[in-house]
Structure 1
Amino acid sequence: MVKVVRLVPPSLRARLALVFGLGTSLVLLVALSLLYVALDRQLDGAVDADLAGRGDDLIASIRAHDLSAVSGDPMAQLYSADGTPIATGAAVAGQVLLRPGQVRAARNRTVKTVTLLALRPGEEPSRVRLMSRPVGQNGEVLAVAQPLTTVESAGNRQLIVLAVATPVLIGALVVLGWLLVRAALRPVDLLTREAAAISTLDTDRPLPAVPGNDEIARLAATLDRMLSRLKVAFARERAFVDDASHELRTPIAVMRGEIDLALEAADDPDEVRRSLLAAQRQVARLGRLAEDLLLLARERAGSLAVHREPVDLTDLAHAESRKLGPVNGLGIEVHGDPVIVAADDTRIRQVLANLAANSAAAGASTARVTVTAGGGSARVEWADDGPGFPPGLLDRAFERFVRGDESRAASTGAGLGLSIVQAVVTAHGGTAELHNGPPLGGAVVTVRLPAS
């Protein structure tokens, strides 16, 4: 099996330090290379300036018919128009700096070249900088030379210094980059350790606050707020499970008791029948509860199906009021003109049934349904003459298993009616609101559905 070698380190800190080190190294190498080139050109410029100054002085002496200045210069030579040396400096005595062709080339312009020249007899030739300039109108040419040994030694020393300093600077920059990255990511490490220590949403332990207003500080604050929201959601789901368990426990206990009674009174057909009928009612209650929970679960998952077709809300309300009134002991009035919407009539009937059951459980005797249309939506208002929603219940009446204290004691409902109303309305793309007050002084639930 071939082992794959990772060229890129897995750690973000190491990758950032590597990128920082490579980037700064490249920039440093380019900067030092430019510095070396600039220094080298500066040295060459200094040599040219020295040759130009010496040449100016010698040309002034030659034009004054003083050739001794040329002989006194260490490395200078004066040529006639045909290339014959006229005067020669002491250091180049016996040598020729320019060939006849080079003399002719320098009659009308200044020529700069680099050549090899033995400074002393028996020595190896050295590189010298040579500047050739015309002297006057008669074709004489002056050549001035300067050894490059000192300049090249200075350039080599600079190169050695840069070669030694570059790795040191690169190493220092890499270490500095590592320290900076580690300091910048220290809050991330702290957040990681604290998040790993939070093993359950039951704990009240928050994530540590990161000072400042940079990206990491905002990330820490966002994660802490997200954790708080998850804790709230977890608490709600746990309360939902607790309430569901409570609602399931009661009918199951009643069913068990009724079945035990039926078994004990096996020789009494009437008692057996009463027990089985009571158990049957509890089974029906369990079935309704299971259906309600399934509906809410589908709504939470976004998979609650609604089969839309044209529905006259006013006609539907009239039909349902005739059935729901006697069942719930309510006098239901329906007002409004025909309003057509695209909706699932079965689900809308379920909404009206839940609202009627909720009003009856609260002790209302009369309910009024008002259907109107306008503003691109159809409005169904359910109002009753009951005591209304308790003040502490208005903000959370649509939550699951939420009931008033009186209704909890007197009603056999599970507290899912209004939750189902909101789920069905939301699945239709509508909204549901509630308050207390007119027209009957009790609870008022307003449902808005998109108009056809």
Structure 2
Amino acid sequence: MKCEGGALRLMRRSVRSRLLMAFTAGTVLVLVLGLSVLYVALARQLSGALDADLAGRGGDLTVDVRTGDFTAVSRDPMAQVFAADGTVVAGSAELDGRRLLNGDEVRAVHDIVLVSRDLPLGYHGKPLRVRLWSQPVGTSGMVLTVGIAATSVDRASDRQFEALLLAAPFLVAALVVLGWFLIRAALRPVDALTRQAAAISQLDSIQRLPVVHGDDEIARLAATLDSMLARLAVAFTRERAFVDDASHELRTPVTVLRGEIDLALAALDDRGEVEQSLLAARSQVDRLTRLAEDLLLLARERAGSLVVQREPVDLTDLTAAEAATLGPVTDLRIEVHGEPVVVEADPDRLRQVLTNLAANSAAAGAATARVQIAAGRDTASVTWADDGPGFPPDLVDSAFERFVRGDAARTTSGAGLGLSIVRAIVTAHGGTVELRNDASTGGAVVTIELPPA
């Protein structure tokens, strides 16, 4: 039981150990099969050489026997000629009257027959392993039998078996050592990757995995893991920046709110001062509420759980109605152009998109916003263009990120989430949103495309 437990622990220990054990088992199996095939092939080759010698002697003696000359038979070390009834007609002097075949065996020979058997032809009549070649001679029924001792072949086969048996452990050991070095060399990059990965303690660390040269599986794995670490580092940096920005945005209204409450407490006997402080505190509470709702919306969008209630909506009518409401609030002159275009969308979410676009234009200092609504073959588009200064060139690519604001907008109370919410809502509707600066006027242009109804 202890041996089995140790083997299991060894197999669970490392990939290198498991590969070495599998390689060793496979090597032993293949080597045993290979040596067995080699032994059988060598044995057959020796037996074939023995049979070829017998066939050659038998062919020569057959010619003499057919002419009635038995002299060559008597001189052969192991040969006999039998009559049809099984009696010995002639034979080798060395046999000294001992038979190679009995009567039944002689009568059973009708063609060339090769057999191996033990005959009492050894020293003092001891059994001797011989190989016999028999063939009918002429039409009288005579049979010629030629034999040869097979002990030399058996001894050669035994020596070959012993040699292969002795060489097998050395071959296995040599192949296992070679396999160990090959496995170690193949897994060396994995060890380096493991050590470096263990040394990377933070996702935002500048350390990266070592480069594995080549185009094999391990090299591709290393490149994939390194790219994954880079993406995780970018995501971690963005999340940490988000937390920092959110903390900053929350700290300001909380600080103002606390200050207004302290002022109200200090002026309890002055109704006007208390009322003014409470109104200011309520405005900060509203700001905190909007910020919390915006963050919740973005969190739902990132989690894929932002739900939109779809119903037929005329984009032109909705935009015109919302423009009439937003104009006085933002001091923007909003012009709406386009034919009626119906989409399946959430009207409340679309109003939120228009509100954020108007707030963004107003914060940038624009006086007029032009909204163009058009229906294409595959999409319905809403193009919002204002006459403001446009997006700063360094913010065009990152304007949809959370808490990103231009210099002019940083003086306002906005949190830099407006365009992020616009993209989140449009994406939830299955649409796309792009922004650019108008080449002629320099103003900001935001283009929204939504699936048609």
Normalised-by-shorter TM-score class: over 0.9
d(CA) in 2 for partners of 1:148 and 1:301?
86
d(CA) in 2 for partners of 1:3 and 1:365?
86
| CA positional deviation for 1:406 | 1.9
Q: Secondary structure at the match of 2:11?
A: coil
Give the aligned partner of residue 57 of structure 1.
60
d(CA) in 1 for partners of 2:53 and 2:450?
96
d(CA) in 2 for partners of 1:417 and 1:145?
108
Give the aligned partner of residue 358 of structure 2.
356
Give the aligned partner of residue 104 of structure 2.
101
Please list, as runs of the form range in 1=range in 2, the aligned pairs for 1:175-324 lying within 5 A after superposition: 175-324=177-326
The 10-residue stretch of structure 1 (364-373 or 17-26) with the greater mean CA deviation from structure 2 = 17-26
Q: Residue type of the partner of 1:34?
A: V
Q: Residue type of the partner of 1:191?
A: L
Q: Secondary structure at the match of 1:380?
A: strand
Q: Secondary structure at the match of 2:385?
A: strand
Is 1:431 aligned with 2:419?
A: no
Is 1:13 aligned with 2:16?
A: yes
Q: 1:355-375: CA deviations, max 9, x gaps?
A: 000010000111111111112
Give the aligned partner of residue 369 of structure 2.
367
Q: Against the structure 1 CA distance between its residues 346 and 439, is the aligned structure 2 distance closer, same or farther, given a 3 Å change threshold?
A: farther
The question of whether the paired residues in 1 share the 8 Å contact of 2:435 and 2:445 is answered with: yes
| CA positional deviation for 1:179 | 2.1
Q: Secondary structure at the match of 2:115?
A: strand
Is 1:45 aligned with 2:55?
A: no
Q: Residue type of the partner of 1:117?
A: L
d(CA) in 1 for partners of 2:59 and 2:35?
36
d(CA) in 2 for partners of 1:426 and 1:131?
94
Give the aligned partner of residue 383 of structure 1.
385
d(CA) in 2 for partners of 1:113 and 1:381?
102
Give the aligned partner of residue 66 of structure 1.
69
Q: 1:76-127: CA deviations, max 9, x gaps?
A: 1122232221222122112011112222232x41111222212245242111
The question of whether the paired residues in 2 share the 8 Å contact of 1:91 and 1:119 is answered with: no
The 10-residue stretch of structure 1 (80-89 or 246-255) with the greater mean CA deviation from structure 2 = 80-89
Q: 1:320-361: CA deviations, max 9, x gaps?
A: 111100011111111111111110111000000000000100
Q: Secondary structure at the match of 2:430?
A: coil
Is 1:90 aligned with 2:93?
A: yes
Please list, as runs of the form range in 1=range in 2, the aligned pairs for 1:122-137 lying within 5 A after superposition: 122-137=124-139
Structure 1 gaps, min length 5? none
The question of whether the paired residues in 2 share the 8 Å contact of 1:383 and 1:439 is answered with: no
The 10-residue stretch of structure 1 (281-290 or 136-145) with the greater mean CA deviation from structure 2 = 136-145
Q: Against the structure 1 CA distance between its residues 3 and 161, is the aligned structure 2 distance closer, same or farther, given a 3 Å change threshold?
A: closer
| CA positional deviation for 1:30 | 1.6
Q: Against the structure 1 CA distance between its residues 382 and 3, is the aligned structure 2 distance closer, same or farther, given a 3 Å change threshold?
A: farther
Q: 1:192-243: CA deviations, max 9, x gaps?
A: 1110110102321111001111111111111111111111111111111111
d(CA) in 1 for partners of 2:151 and 2:140?
35
Is 1:343 aligned with 2:345?
A: yes
Q: Against the structure 1 CA distance between its residues 120 and 438, is the aligned structure 2 distance closer, same or farther, given a 3 Å change threshold?
A: closer
d(CA) in 1 for partners of 2:439 and 2:181?
70
Q: Secondary structure at the match of 1:96?
A: coil
The question of whether the paired residues in 1 share the 8 Å contact of 2:122 and 2:128 is answered with: no
TM-score, with structure 1 as normaliser: 0.95
| CA positional deviation for 1:134 | 2.1
The question of whether the paired residues in 1 share the 8 Å contact of 2:363 and 2:408 is answered with: no
| CA positional deviation for 1:257 | 1.4
The question of whether the paired residues in 1 share the 8 Å contact of 2:390 and 2:443 is answered with: yes
Q: Against the structure 1 CA distance between its residues 18 and 380, is the aligned structure 2 distance closer, same or farther, given a 3 Å change threshold?
A: same
d(CA) in 2 for partners of 1:126 and 1:238?
94
d(CA) in 1 for partners of 2:378 and 2:33?
69
| CA positional deviation for 1:66 | 3.1
Identity %: 63
Q: Against the structure 1 CA distance between its residues 303 and 103, is the aligned structure 2 distance closer, same or farther, given a 3 Å change threshold?
A: same
1:114 pairs, out of 100, 105, 116, with 116
Q: 1:32-80: CA deviations, max 9, x gaps?
A: 1111111111111111111111112222333444322211111111222
Q: 1:170-189: CA deviations, max 9, x gaps?
A: 23222322221121111111
The question of whether the paired residues in 2 share the 8 Å contact of 1:296 and 1:420 is answered with: yes
Q: 1:234-255: CA deviations, max 9, x gaps?
A: 1111111111111111111111
Q: Against the structure 1 CA distance between its residues 34 and 304, is the aligned structure 2 distance closer, same or farther, given a 3 Å change threshold?
A: same
d(CA) in 2 for partners of 1:399 and 1:130?
97
1:153 pairs, out of 148, 152, 155, with 155
Give the aligned partner of residue 448 of structure 2.
447
The 10-residue stretch of structure 1 (95-104 or 35-44) with the greater mean CA deviation from structure 2 = 95-104
The 10-residue stretch of structure 1 (22-31 or 322-331) with the greater mean CA deviation from structure 2 = 22-31
Give the aligned partner of residue 416 of structure 2.
415
Please list, as runs of the form range in 1=range in 2, the aligned pairs for 1:389-408 lying within 5 A after superposition: 389-408=391-410
Q: Secondary structure at the match of 2:124?
A: coil
Q: Secondary structure at the match of 2:416?
A: coil
d(CA) in 1 for partners of 2:237 and 2:104?
101
d(CA) in 1 for partners of 2:360 and 2:254?
24
Q: Residue type of the partner of 2:95?
A: V
| CA positional deviation for 1:438 | 6.6
Q: Against the structure 1 CA distance between its residues 3 and 359, is the aligned structure 2 distance closer, same or farther, given a 3 Å change threshold?
A: farther
TM-score, with structure 2 as normaliser: 0.95
d(CA) in 1 for partners of 2:439 and 2:90?
126
Give the aligned partner of residue 174 of structure 1.
176
Q: 1:4-54: CA deviations, max 9, x gaps?
A: 947581122222222222222222222211111111111111111111111
Give the aligned partner of residue 26 of structure 1.
29
Q: Against the structure 1 CA distance between its residues 273 and 439, is the aligned structure 2 distance closer, same or farther, given a 3 Å change threshold?
A: farther
